[in-house]
């Protein structure tokens, strides 16, 4: 992997990423999807367990069904692709860490999508059973696997300015509280 001038600097990527909820009706290539999944799988995980699974949705019927199961997932129905990040707690050596591992993978995927010119938004699923159960049923997710988040992906149909500065000195402590 080489760094090119066209690649977005990592800090620029982090500081300019926004939650995108409107997408163009433009296909996202399989190659690009795999590149984003690779970025997700490079996230840190406790004891390098990598308890994640990624369910890629491209079927418009499934994508349109998601908003009927999740109260905050309207944008999934208009995205050309969505990734359901799942965790498998039974693979853990360190109980409870799968949630942090999946969160890191989710953030990596969001940042990689933005760096590649795609938009996405983190649609939380876990730990809300009323969101997890219908999603599990619709997608055939096994009982030992927990649906964690849904990430719709697509070329943005909207441009959002980077947020105002979120750096807050009053939130920082040095050495002791």
- What are the chain's domains? 18-156 (3.40.109.10)
Task: Residue count of the chain, please give it.
Answer: 177
Residue-level pLDDT at 24: 97
Q: What is the DSSP string of the chain?
A: ----TTSPPHHHHHHH--B---B-S-PPPHHHHHHHHHHHHTS--GGG---EEEEEE--HHHHHHHHHH-TT-GGGGG-SEEEEEEE-GGG-SSTTTHHHHHHHHHHHHHHHHHHTT-EE--EE-TT-HHHHHHHHHHHT--TTSEEEEEEEEE-BSS--PPPSP---GGG--SS--
The CA distance from 102 to 107, in Å, is: 9
Collect the ranges in the chain with pLDDT lower than 50.
none
pTM to 2 decimals? Answer: 0.93
Structure tokens at 116: 């590649």
Residue 111 contacts residue 174 (beta carbons within 8 Å)? no
Residue-level pLDDT at 163: 86
For 52-101, how does the pLDDT look when each residue is reduced to its tens digit (9 = 90+)?
A: 999 999 999 999 999 999 999 999 999 999 999 999 999 888 999 999 99
């Amino acid at each position: 992997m080489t760094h090119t001038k066209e690649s977005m600097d990592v800090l620029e990527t982090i500081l300019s990423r926004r939650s995108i909820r409107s997408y163009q009706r433009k296909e996202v290539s399989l190659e690009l999807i795999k590149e984003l999944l690779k970025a997700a799988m490079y996230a840190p995980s406790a004891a390098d367990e990598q308890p994640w699974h990624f369910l890629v949705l491209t079927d418009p019927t499934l994508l349109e069904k998601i908003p009927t199961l999740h109260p905050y997932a309207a944008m999934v129905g208009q995205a050309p692709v969505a990734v359901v990040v799942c965790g498998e707690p039974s693979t853990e050596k360190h109980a409870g860490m799968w949630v942090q591992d999946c969160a890191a993978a989710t953030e990596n995927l969001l940042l990689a999508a933005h760096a590649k010119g795609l938009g996405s938004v983190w649609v939380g699923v876990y730990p809300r059973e009323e969101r997890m159960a219908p999603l599990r049923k619709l997608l055939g997710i096994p009982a030992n696997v927990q649906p964690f988040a849904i990430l719709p992906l697509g070329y943005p149909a909207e441009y959002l300015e980077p947020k105002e500065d979120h750096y807050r000195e009053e939130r920082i402590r040095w050495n002791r509280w």
